[in-house]
C-alpha cells in the first residue's frame, strides 16, 4: 500500500512538472513565432531586391565583373548579400527551434494520441543542446517506426529522465547513442552512454525510490521509478544493463497496437 502511494505521488509530481513545462514552452514558442516570421519575410523581400539591383548593375550574366558602379559599390553589394545570407540562415535555425518547441508542447498534452517515438526523442533531445560541448557526441540510429497509441507526454517524460541520467553519467566527455527499431509486435528505443556505469550489485535497485544527501539536504529521487511505472502503464518494459566505467544502456520496449486509450 505504501509503495502504491509513493508511486501515485511520484506520477502526480511528474504530471504537474510536465504540465508547467508544457505551458512555458508553448508560451515561448508563441512569442517567438511572430517575430521570426517577420524576419524571414523581410529577408526574402530583401533578397529579391538585391537580385534585381544586381541585374541592373551588371551588363550581362556572363560578364558579372563589370559593374556599372565603382569598385566600392561592388564591394557593398557583395557584403549586403553575404550578410543577408547569414540573416536567412539564422532565421531558419530559429524557426526550426520554434517548431521543435511547438512539437514538444503539443506532444506533452495529457490525452492519449498517436505518437512517433523518433519525433519524441528529437523533441526532448533539443532541451539538452546547451549541454552538448566539444567532448560530447550524440549518435542517432533511428529506424522506421509505426506510430503507436500512448500518452505522449508521459513517454516524453521517460525520455527526459533517461537522457538526463545519460548526460550526468558522461559529464563533459562521452558518447550518447540513441537507437530505435521495430519488429512485428514491438518498438524499441535504446539510450546508451559511455559514462561511469552502475555496479552489478546496484543494477537491480536503480528503479527503486531512493534518498540522496546533497549537502545538508536530503532529496528523494523518483525519476527512474516513475519512468518504469509509465512504461508498465503502457504495457511495455524498461530494462537496464551496465558495465562499471564503461557504459549504461536503457531499453524501452512498447507493444504495437496493444495499448488502448
Ranges of each domain in the chain: 1-108, 113-255
Count other Cβ atoms within 10 Å, centred on residue 201: 7
pLDDT, tens digit (0-9, with 9 covering 90-100), for 34-70: 787 788 788 888 888 887 877 776 654 455 555 444 4
Question: What are 49-54's contacts with CB under 8 Å, separation 24+?
Answer: 50/77, 50/80, 50/81, 50/84, 53/77, 54/81
Kindly indicate the confidence band of residue 24, based on its pLDDT and cuts at 50, 70 and 90: low
pLDDT value of position 2: 47
Task: Say which DSSP state 67 is in.
Answer: -
Supply φ then ψ for residue 211, to 5 degrees. Answer: -115, 130
Element of type H or E holding 9: helix 2-57
Q: State yes or no: pLDDT of 211 exceeds 70.
A: no
CATH of domain 113-255: 3.30.565.10
Please indicate whether residue 110 or residue 226 has the higher confidence score (pLDDT): 226
SS3 248: strand
Write out the three cell numbers for 174: 562521452
- Domain 1-108 bears CATH identifier 3.90.320: no
Q: What is the reported pTM?
A: 0.61
Amino acid at each position: 500500500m505504501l509503495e502504491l502511494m509513493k508511486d501515485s505521488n511520484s506520477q502526480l509530481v511528474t504530471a504537474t512538472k510536465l504540465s508547467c513545462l508544457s505551458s512555458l514552452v508553448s508560451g515561448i514558442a508563441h512569442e517567438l513565432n511572430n517575430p521570426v516570421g517577420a524576419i524571414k519575410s523581410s529577408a526574402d523581400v530583401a533578397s529579391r531586391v538585391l537580385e534585381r539591383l544586381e541585374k541592373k548593375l551588371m551588363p550581362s550574366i556572363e560578364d558579372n565583373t563589370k559593374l556599372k558602379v565603382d569598385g566600392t559599390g561592388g564591394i557593398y553589394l557583395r557584403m549586403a548579400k553575404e550578410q543577408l545570407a547569414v540573416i536567412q540562415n539564422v532565421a531558419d535555425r530559429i524557426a526550426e527551434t520554434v517548431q521543435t518547441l511547438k512539437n514538444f508542447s503539443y506532444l506533452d498534452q495529457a490525452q492519449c494520441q498517436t505518437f512517433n517515438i523518433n519525433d519524441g526523442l528529437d523533441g526532448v533531445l533539443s532541451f539538452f543542446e546547451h549541454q552538448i560541448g566539444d567532448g560530447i557526441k550524440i549518435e542517432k540510429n533511428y529506424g522506421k517506426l509505426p506510430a503507436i497509441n500512448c500518452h505522449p507526454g508521459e513517454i516524453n517524460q521517460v525520455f527526459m529522465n533517461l537522457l538526463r541520467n545519460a548526460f550526468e553519467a558522461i559529464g563533459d566527455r562521452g558518447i550518447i547513442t540513441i537507437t530505435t527499431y521495430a519488429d512485428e509486435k514491438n518498438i524499441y528505443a535504446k539510450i546508451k552512454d559511455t559514462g561511469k556505469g552502475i555496479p552489478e550489485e546496484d543494477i537491480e535497485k536503480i528503479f527503486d525510490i531512493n534518498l540522496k544527501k546533497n549537502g545538508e539536504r536530503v532529496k528523494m529521487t523518483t525519476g527512474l521509478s516513475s519512468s518504469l511505472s509509465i512504461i508498465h502503464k503502457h504495457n511495455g518494459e524498461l530494462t537496464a544493463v551496465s558495465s562499471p566505467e564503461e557504459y549504461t544502456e536503457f531499453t524501452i520496449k512498447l507493444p504495437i497496437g496493444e495499448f488502448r486509450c
